[in-house]
Amino acid sequence: MLRNIPSILSPDLLHSLRAMGHGDDIVIADANFPSTALGQRCHRLDGISATDTLQAILSLLPLDSFVPDPALVMQVVGDPGAVPPVVTEFQNIITQTADTPVQIARLERFDFYARAKSAFAIVQTGETRLYGNIILKKGVIGT
């Protein structure tokens, strides 16, 4: 056991978070997301919400402060300006937890899939709320 590491993060996921470099992306995906088809590394957190997963990951992972949009969600198909409740929760978690809080940006559905395909890893959660997907770009830990 280790201290101060959220217990929902598996050893394999912790390994990926540590192995990621500055500028690498990680996707936190809902239960409907095609994670295995898109991801080079897919970690499963069945039964865990995307919001709990985001909270846990952001307690360890710094967001990139050198890019304009280090946190991205998928636009609602047919209503790109809509903000699903899960995205509002994502924003609240980023605002309260991230070392460099940012406003979440949005990507069109297929642009989101393309970005996810090139991510270092995808975390498939048990999130059942639609649009419970977010991409984070890893930053650096300052001295």
User: Of 38, 36, 33, which Cα lies nearest the Cα of 86?
Assistant: 33
Q: How far is CA 52 from CA 14, 81, 127, in A?
A: 15, 25, 10
| Residue 87 tokens, joined | 């995205």
Active-site amino acid positions = 22, 64, 113
> Does residue 61 contact residue 99 with C-beta atoms inside 8 Å?
no
The identity of residue 80, as a single letter, is P
> Does residue 138 contact residue 23 with C-beta atoms inside 8 Å?
yes
Question: Residue 46 CA to chain centroid, in angstroms?
Answer: 15
φ, ψ for residue 43, nearest 5 deg: -110, 135
